[in-house]
Structures are given as structure tokens and as C-alpha cells.
Structure 1
Amino acid sequence: MNILYGIQGTGNGHVARSRVIAKYIAESDAKVTYLFSGRDKNQYYEMEVFNDHLIREGLTFVSEGGKVNYVQTTLKNNLWQFLKDVFSLDLSSYDLIITDFEPITAWAAKLRNKPIIGLGHQYAFGPNTPLAGENWLAKWVLKNFAPAPFGIGLHWHPYQENILPPIIDINLSRKITQNFIMVYLPFEDQSEVTDLLNTFSDYNFILYSPQLTEIQHGNVLWQKTCYQGFTNNLTQTRGVICNSGFELISECLHLGIPILVKPIHGQMEQLSNALALKQLQLADVMHHLDEDLIGNWLEMLDDDIQHKPQLIPNVAKEIVALIMAKNWEKTNELSETLWKTPIFQAR
């Protein structure tokens, strides 16, 4: 089987999830080409697992100060280049297209009537999935940004029969906990975040973001986002403060790490994730950088409340086996099997 796998590069969740999938595809007889879009070429890092990959401009969202900036989003996206990439993408040699919310591969497959699977968190949004911050534009984007007639959704609860548990590296495990809090709020003003964290002088923080370079600011250590360093710190941290993207939170739940999330304003997916986490009682939520809420959350960590790891099954291996057997339309059966034993327990 010859596969074209499209991966949305905005944020790191899609790429992190695809790293795990790529390892299992590499063990099969399939040939795969990966196509990334939505991020500048020089902002991808540690891509060795994606041996044969293409990078295109694609479409993305621009966030400033923790909010989606729709004007800048419109100005930044080059629609002409996007259309050119869609129509110039040669799909003739591929048996199957997979898209993790990547629009070039999705639209190229749709216009050429090629077999395509949508695989990712965005394909979990249906009539029963918690929604927040929805409006006609957000719903239209979710439906049409990277359309796929068949979707395999990922979420923390089986809201629909096409939903599987999160895809993570199941080999992740907690190491000896170190005395620091990990913070990942790349869509916020990093200086503002640093100033806020500096007010909690009794705590040490490691602040990750793609635009930072390593430097110490009082009790806050800046670090540039990188796969290995980020993962190492994640397995040792006392707790995580982050936006409400799906993948990092899933890893934290798997490891039993306390989480405080701050969704991006105007981003329906993140607002909906925050709502789901609150309903499922899996994390604490703040809707703006709130000094009091952060202080209360840090005190909770000091109380040494135990958070049990929520061990996630090897979803990636099961999905790849399903795809290689060309049985992806039996996702509902796999969903029933994987959710048979409850995975995520309220705190």
C-alpha cells in the first residue's frame, strides 16, 4: 500500500501524534510519504522518523496574546499558493490518503475522489461532543478545513462510535519528580507569562515556547521547544500549565500529572477541550492568566494530592493494523473494544 499522510503543523500536537503512528507504519509493508503544512519550514525539528516528507505552506491560524487574530489569519494565509498546492499535488501513485487536519492533502483527495481517512482530534466533534465558543464560522472551518468523508476521531471519552482514545507514546513513564512546574503557553505573550510566574517566587518554572532561547529569568527558565528536552522535562515535572490542546493534555493524563489549562480565546477546539476536561473532572481550567487561580492550583500541588496515571492503550498500533488490513470502516468495533475498560477517571 502506498500512503500519503498529511499532517497539520500548527502547534505540536498533530506532529507529536504522527510521530507515534509513523513508527508503526515503518514496521509494516506500506510505503508512506508525509506532507506537513501550516508552519515555516525552519520551525520543524527532529523529523528523522518522517524519512520521506514534503513541506508546504498550507493554512494556519494566527494567535496573539492568547487570542485568535482573525485579521492576521486572513492576511497571513496565501490562498493562491494553497490552491496551487492542492491542484499540483500528484495523487496518482497513492492508494490511500490520511489527513490529520491537513488541508492540502484533504482537498486534493476530495477533488480527485481518492480514498481518504481523517485521523485526529478534530474528527471527534459530533452532535454529542461538548462544544464551547461555537459560531457559524468556527463550525464551518471545522467541517471544511480538512474534509474527509470518513473520520477516526480521538478524545477523552467515547462521545461517538468513531472515537478512539488518544494516540500517545505509551512508553512514556514518570521519572523521579523534580521541583519545577512546566509551562507551555506558546500563544501567549511570553514576557507577560514570565512576569506572572515571577510573582510565585517560592516555585521554579520551566517555560517552553518555539520563540524562546535558553535564559534564566529569576525563578523562570526559558527553553526553546524541542522534542527530546520537552519530553524529558514532562516526565519529571510536578505539574503542567498549558493551553488546552489535545495531545499534551493526553500525555499528562497518561502520566498522572496535574494540569491547569488556559484555552485560546476564539478557538472553538480549545474552548471545547476545556469544557470537556471540566465536565470529566480531569483538569483545572482558567480562561485568562489569573494570578489567584494559579496560586490556588500551586497550593493544591503542595498538598501532595496524588494523581493516578490514566494508562492509555496502544491506540496507534491498533489503528495502523486496522488501516493495513483495509478495515478502517470497522473503527466502531475497535472503539467498543478500547473503551470497554474505563480509561479516564475523575480526580
Structure 2
Amino acid sequence: MSAVIARSKSIEVIDINKKFGSFTALNSISLKIEPGEFVCFLGPSGCGKTTLLRMLAGLETVSSGTIKFGVRDVTRVPALNRDVGIVFQSYALFPNLTVRQNIEYGLVSQKTAREDRQRKVMELVEQVRLEAAVDKYPHQISGGQQQRVALARALAINPSILLLDEPLSALDANVRGHLRLQLKELHRRIGLTTIMVTHDQEEAMVLADKVVIMNGGVVEQVGRPEEIYYQPSSQFVANFVGSMNVLEVEIKGRELAQVGPWLLNIGCAGTSRTGDRIRVCFRPEDGLINDAGTCENTLAGVLIEHEFIGPVVRCHVQVDGVEKPLIVTCPVSPSTLSAFKSGGLFKFHVPADRMIVLPTA
């Protein structure tokens, strides 16, 4: 049997507020996280995501509001009694203890029998694939291995909730990508309710069942990664997650809008009426090369710059009647790369079903 027996609990955050003096760090945050979900708090620096995680951990007090783990109100419960495992950005390993002793530390504090401690530690060592490093000290192993030791130590106490504070941010790109997959596979096996703070969009998209986008102390949007990417609820989310082209258009009919000389089919414009000015957007990969210029929603302009980035070319196109250059990413091969010439005419179209109408403020 696995050393980690998932006792996952739901998490409910009800109208949480946090103030530091006159500064409001969190403003009326409400969330519901289901048992066993992997949730990422994603947002720019200073948005409040780490403060919210620390409040869930009991390391930061709540100014007002309620936090529940399952049916239990833990708002004022001390950190030691919250039944959570925590992995910090710095890992916080004890330098004078071996890998085995670091993992075992929480079990010793819980006064677990020696035989049970040894069995659980070795099961966890196998879970995180550290068999060869079990008797080494932190300074003798890599950053990626240290991260796995910290994770195993957090899981050793058999928590009902796991909290991760940017645990991969100190690692280089290759190691980080490898550990993402290990973390996802581990979560799949143990099914533990997990919350991770990150500023890395790709990390959140790869790992999360649900992403919570935060900005300025408020929640902008909550949803599955694909919902966040394809159905942003605000211009902030549209611009923050991935790359997005935004057009200021004038409504010309039920599904039609104009920008400069171009008449576009934008699909349903919601409650907007003829003459209203709204914002629509599309992802760079949704712009499709159209040399003939005969497709619906064709735009044309000057290719002012192109960047070769392996399987695609990122094209910056100054379109007539559009203030800022639009970005279109195009698949490329050695035989087609020469067709991209800066200063030349560039035509592309955007299918109507890939146009995103942003909510009006």
C-alpha cells in the first residue's frame, strides 16, 4: 500500500479579506475547490496569490471571512493543526540531516513508531525516485532532487491537503519541465487536494485541473486551463495568459464589426448594438495565411518583422487601420522559410469562431 493514503478534503474560501495596515492585499475572495483537485493560483507578482496560500496554511491571519476544509472551519486554527503539507519555494531542508532524516522529521514529531517510520520513508523515497540519494545530505544532491525531498517530507505526515509555494521556480528550464511531469503523475496516483502558487503560465496549464487567475488582490477568473485560454473573462486574462491580439471595433450588425477598412464576422456580439465600440481578440495561432485574400475575415498589412522559433515563425504585421502590429504564428519548414520577407505584403484570415468578444467593463 502507498505511504500516502489520500484523505483529500474540499476547500472553501468565503469572502476572505486581508489588509496590511491601509493596504488591501485580498479583496472579497471566494473559491470552492473539490476534493482531489489540482489547482494553480496564477497571476503577476503582488497579486495576492502567495498571501492567499499562506492564509490557507495558517501562516497568515485572516482580516475577515471564512476558510473551511471539508466541513471544518479552520479560519482561526493554528497551522500545526490544519492537517496540511507545505512545500516552500526554498525547500527549507535541514542541511545537517540526510534525505532519509529530512523525510522522517514530521513522523518523529508525530511520535510514529520507528518501524512504521522506516517503512513509510522508504515508500515515499520510491514514490519520488530518490533511492540512490537516501543517505546523502542536501548539499550533495541537485536542486531537482532537493525539491523532491521537500515534497516527500510534506507527504510523509499524510496530509489531507498539499500546498506548494512556487516549488519549481528555482530550477532550470529542463529540470523544471521534467519535474512538472513527475508532479502531475504523482498527483494522479495519490489523488491529494493540491494548491500550487505559480507565475509560470505553462506550468499552470500543464498541471492544473483548475486555474485561479488573480490580479490586484481579486480573482479575475476561475476555470479549466482550456476555458481560461479560449474564453478569457476580461482583457487582463486575455493579455496575461498566452499572447493575444486585441482589436477595437465598431459594431455594424448582429455579427459584423469594422476596424479600419476591414469588415469582420465576430460571431455573437452579445448585448452590443450597432454603433457600439467593443474589443475583440484572437490568438496568434488563429491567424491563417491567405495569400489569395478571398476568405472571410481576411486582413492584410506589411510584415515588419519575423522571428524564427523552430516549428513556427512569429510574424509582426502592421495591418491597415490597426494601431499596433498584430502577431501571427505560422507553421514553417526549411522549404517555406524563405517566403517570409520583412517589408512584404502579408495576408491572413481569422475564422469567425476564433474571434473572442471581450466583456465590456
TM-score by length of 2: 0.23
Higher strand share: 2
TM-score by length of 1: 0.24
| Greater C-alpha radius of gyration | 2
Higher helix share: 1
